Each structure stands twice: as structure tokens, then as C-alpha cells.
Amino acid sequence: MKKIMLMKFLTVASATVISVVGISSAVAAEYPSKTVEVITHAGNGGGTDVTSRMMMLRARRELGGDMVVVNKKGGGGAVAMDHYLKQPADGYSILTFTIGHAATVAKGKTKLKLSDIRPIARATDDPQILMTRCGAYDSAADFVAAQKNSAISYGTTHLGNIDDVSAFMFTKKGGMKTPKIIPFEGGAELATQLIAGAVDAAVLNLGEAGSQIDAGYVCPMVVLADKRMAGLPDVTTAKEMGIDVSFSTVRGFVIHKDTPEDVAIKIEQSLMKAMKHSVYQGYLSSVGLDASSVAGSEVWGEQLATMVVEMESALKELGFIQ
């Protein structure tokens, strides 16, 4: 009797699996049937906003449907994350996730948890760069020496996030005076205010100040990375100066964990193909990055898992988390 009941259970279970797979495949075949929203915390022109839009240039074609950026600014990504949690797990909303989001999650400032999301693909691994107005300092050594005598002001985007953590850790490990942090809404505004003299230095990515650098208004002083950037071969790293600091603005894409499997796979394959295309690769080259920035769900997922832990450790050391 037990054997007969077991056989009946397996038959029903098999039929259920076949049914679910059939439904999932049908859903993927129809997807997308409407516009896909890419939700970002950045304002127009910021590094994360630009990265999202550059990904979409080819992803629309690969996915076979329209895509649009939805900007939800505020709270170091908390507004965007909380908004994303309210969206259906159907693949029609994609969240751009950064190391800044990891900091917000670590501080408990959002309802979203890593267990709520599924990693899809990494888009950039973009080193933090300390920049100044051109002519303000003669060299990186002069930049550091000035801060050992007196504190200077650093412009960042938001507080208790990757930008001010970068500034604090650089000055702390370099034996410099604690900087005065002045937050701005986004990278584009910060670059403009740096030129205007609102701050002495700024923590930016190359993509956020590329045009100002090309115009000779903004000069990169120190790259916070393990090695020099291809786009800034003459700019020293903090580690070359004996300051053991390395921070990157990592950007990637995630979806709801309960998104149908076939839809999730289709999104990942489409985004990866789009970002390996020469259009997106050209964008990476323009901001001093290379093909290694792009990574699939496995690599991106492992990085996501460590980002929150690393940011939590740094924020605790700096007193942002008790």
C-alpha cells in the first residue's frame, strides 16, 4: 500500500513539475510584454544613472522590449530599495545595486535585505578617485602633505556611505587631519561645485568628472585602487604612497528573488550580452575601465555577500554604526 501511495505521489509531483516548467517557459516566451523599469537611486547624470542607461542601449534589443530608468533619490539608496520591494516579482523591475546600497543595508536604513534579491550581473567595478581643482596642489605628495598640517573639506555624495568612508579611511591611514565632509546630491553636482570652490577635494569616479578632467578644470590626485587605472596611467594609487586604502564604486543589477526562473535567466543572459557588446565596452573604456568590470550572477552574488560585511566593518570603525 505504501509503495502504491508513493508511486501516486511521485506521479502527481512529476506532473506538477512539468506543469510548473511549462508555465515558466510560457511566461519567459511572453516576457517582456510591457516596459521594464530599471530603478536607480542616482539623479540624472550621476555615475549609476549613466551606467544604467548605457547598459540599456543594447539590452532593449537583446531583451526584445522597451526599458526605462526610474530615478528614486534619497536615503543613500533606501528610497529606491524600499520602492523596489513594493514592485511585483515578475521581472518588470530591475534594481541597480551599488556599494552605497550595501552601506545602507548594513546600517539597517532600508527594509530590503540581501535575502530579498537575486543577483543578475555586475556592470562596473569603478575605483574611487580623490580629485581637486587643477592648480590647487602641485602633486599627490603635496596634496597629502597639506592635509597633515590642516584639515581640508571633501565633497561626497551623501553621508555614511562609500564616498565619505573613502575620504575618512584615506586620511586616517595616511596620518592626515580628519576632513570636513560636505555632502551633495550626486556626482555631476559635486564635480560642478568642486570647480566652483565649494570644497577643496571631492571623492568621484572617472565617469562622473570625465568631461571636467578633459577640459582641465578637475585634476585626479589619488586613485584608491590596488593598481593604476588604464584611463589614468599617470595618477598614483594610495597604496603606492604607502596608504593601505582601496575602495571601488561597484554597480550591478538585481531582481526579486521570487522572479520566475526562466524570466530571471532571460534577464541575465540579455544584460550580459548587452554589456559585452562593443557599445557598452566602449563606455567602460571611456571611464578608464575594462571588460573585467562585467561579471555574471555567480561572481556578482559572491561580491554582494561580502560588500555588506565589509561596509559594516568600516562604518563601525568610523563610528557610523554603534
pLDDT band at 26 (very low <50, low <70, confident <90, very high): low
CATH superfamily label, 127-241: Periplasmic binding protein-like II (3.40.190.10)
Q: Is 149 exposed, middle or buried (0-12, 13-18, 19+ CB in 10 A)?
A: exposed
Going from N- to C-terminal start, the domains of the chain cover 35-125+249-317, 127-241
Chosen CATH of 35-125+249-317 out of 3.40.1160.10, 3.40.50.300, 3.40.190.150, 1.20.140.10 = 3.40.190.150
Task: Give DSSP secondary structure letters for 140-185.
Answer: HHHHHHHHHHS--EEEEESSSSHHHHHHHHHHHHTTPPPPEEEEES
Q: Which three cell numbers stand for residue 185?
A: 546630491
HSE, side-chain direction, 13 A CA sphere, residue 185: 11
- Max mean pLDDT among 101-115, 195-209, 263-277 falls in 263-277
pLDDT above 90 coverage of the chain, percent = 65
The pTM is what?
0.72
Average pLDDT, integer, range 101-113: 92
pLDDT tens digits, one per residue of 95-106: 999 988 998 998
So what's the pLDDT on residue 286? 85
Q: d(Cα 191, Cα 106) in Å, to the nearest integer?
A: 28
CB 156 within 8 A of CB 320: no
CB 74 within 8 A of CB 282: no
Residue 155 pLDDT greater than 50, yes or no: yes
Q: d(Cα 197, Cα 144) in Å, to the nearest integer?
A: 19
Q: d(Cα 65, Cα 67) in Å, to the nearest integer?
A: 7
So what's the pLDDT on residue 25? 52
pLDDT band at 28 (very low <50, low <70, confident <90, very high): low
